[in-house]
Amino acid sequence: MVLAAALAGTALLAAACSGGSGTPVSAKQASYQEALAYSQCMRTHGEPGFPDPQPNGDLLINGQKDHLNGALMPSAQKACQRLMPKIKPMTAAQQQKLTARTLKFVACMRAHGLPTFPDPVVNSSGIEMHLPSGIAPNSPVLKNAQQICRHLIPFGLP
């Protein structure tokens, strides 16, 4: 079960994009609108709990909290693929920095009652973290460790 995933990076769109009033739309606004269209499509195609993007356009997804249905996710993703936000890949230096920060979080979780907390998967498009097998999402041990280690969570992920 995915604890959290983030589509890291924000697509940099041309500031020349214009809204209905002819007013230029910032790259941040355009990125948000692009991600919002994707989120709405995912909800329409069987994932009613799919979250809206963050104000900067990033999608933070917590399958358990967002009540996502793993069985319907592939068909929803296929239907909405054309709307999936374009992601500016992280550089190797950004990946290295994110990996170092995430490993500090993982070490903290392991030190506070979850010795089998797995390493994250970090690549050019973001980060993926999973709960250790056998740990319930509402486990008191997990909640306690999250509370203690929250200051180390990359990007403020759930």
Q: What is the pLDDT of residue 65?
A: 66
What is the model's pTM?
Answer: 0.52
- Residue-wise pLDDT tens digits, 9-46: 322 222 223 334 444 557 778 888 989 999 999 989 88
Q: What is the three-state SS of 58-89?
A: CCEECCCCCCCCCCCHHHHHHHHHHHCCCCCC
Q: What percent of the chain has pLDDT over 90?
A: 18
* Token output for 78: 């296929």
Q: Chain-wide mean pLDDT for the chain?
A: 75
* Alpha carbon distance 84, 1 (integer Å): 22
Of 136, 140, 146, whose CA–CA distance to 111 is shortest? 146
